[in-house]
Structure 1
Amino acid sequence: MGDLPQIIPINSSNAKKALLSFEFGIGGILFGLIFLVLGLVILNYTKIIDLSFVLPKNIATKLPQKNLTVQEKAKKIEYATIWIGDPNDTTGRAILLSKNRGLQNALLIDTFNLVSEDEVIMGTFKSLQQIPGSNDIYFILNNPLNSQEVKIRIKTKITQKEKKNPYTDFIVDNLSIKPTEKNNFGMEKLFAYNGLDEDMEKIKKIIRSGDVVRVWLNGYVNTDASGKPEKVMLKDEKNIVVAAHISIRRFGGKEQINTELKQ
């Protein structure tokens, strides 16, 4: 009978070392991945990097976010804040930005102006008033730099049969983008004022005392005695100007407003 093949005993010590090395290798990789993910989340939180460019939006928006100041948000788009009404706010609702934001359209230059004969006026919201016998309302704006106030009429949207009559709609100025003609100068439509209870609820949710408001007035072109055309601001029976657009402002624009309306 031939010799049986010899069985070489396994060195149990070496086997354990190999197994431990394998386990530590896998553990090291997992630990490294966890450390990498945590590092990216921290960098995203501190705004050193922005993961929204590499992750789906529905995931990126759920990551912990650090609230930037309005100065930091303005700086990201190469603007500066020249007036801040609420130092605790981070949405941009109560700020004025530097004049270079109006390079594409001079009407977008931020400056307090309540001269009702101008096409555009700008101030801070003080209060609103109901008009007896009408669904229209008055907005009262003031200039925080002095004691000047002005009253603006918010007109209800009318029926199709009366579509020639003016009405007021609400828009938001998206401060997160540079205004150009291609993006409608950053203006995003919110809703037309229909005089309904739900309209008042929306207004109370997105506009509060101290908010910066830009008003585009309703006007028409009139020809004077010499035949020269001139723009005339539309006024009601009490000589109060009528708003075509009420423009509020937010970093994030309509997306931020929709968040506030859900609260």
Structure 2
Amino acid sequence: MTPAPSSRLDLASILNVINMGLIVVDSDENILMWNDWVAKSSEVPEAEALRKTIATAFKEAPSPAFLTALRNSLNYGLPVVLSNALHRSPLPLYTASDEAQERLRMHQSIAITPLPSSDGKRCCLIQISDSSNSIKREKMLRSHSEMLKRDATTDSLTGIYNRRFFDEHYKMALGQSLRQKLPLSIFMVDIDFFKEYNDFYGHPSGDKALIKVAQTLKSQLSRSSDVLARYGGEEFILILPNMPQEHALPFANKLRQAVWNAAIPHLRSKVAGQLSISIGVST
């Protein structure tokens, strides 16, 4: 049964309610279709855009990469996809920011599909999707992943690496040292009489002392390959690749002196009136 004229589907209305941009250009890049989504996002009305070329219809020029992709599709009849990973905003399309209600350049995914036309010449359908939300989700997921990774390898009190990171890094550092036949120096640091410190000053002060010692030890490292980690309790461990024994012992004294110079009072120490450390070295 043929539907009544009033109930027939209006193709133009359907194309205008689709939540994506649709543009059709002919073989000379003249615009034949410009749906409402494109009109709203570009702030260029359909009537103004029709019969203009794709290069001149927008308020700003499309990116060279987009124009090259479109011309290749028109010339060779091959479909093209411009992913948002490599081409964030090829067209001057905008979306409103919820916070400031300002127009922000839209991140886009674009598919260009060649179409045959009645005159034998080639047209192209350009489909545009707003990928701004997916980009935001991607950034949030990446940030969350980095935060989880950081939490898994960082000591929550001192901010330096934790025992878990050290165990994994030590295996790699030792393997590299053996393969390249280079020295590897390990420093085990222990705060002297730290139990007495905690008992006398209290655990909050003990935490502050651990943080200060960690910061002091870290300040003595100068190479990106040097690693400092909290091994447990009041113990710290350092890995210094390519450091021979004749340099390791002076460096251990440098660490000990740096903590001593921090002048953290320790009235319950049995060796001095301030916090000190003992260091074991293996190369």
Q: Indicate whether the TM-score tops 0.5.
A: no
Largest Rg, 1 or 2: 2
Structure with bigger helix share is 2
TM-score (norm 2): 0.24
TM-score (norm 1): 0.25
Which structure is higher in RCO with an 8 Å CA cutoff and minimum separation 6? 1
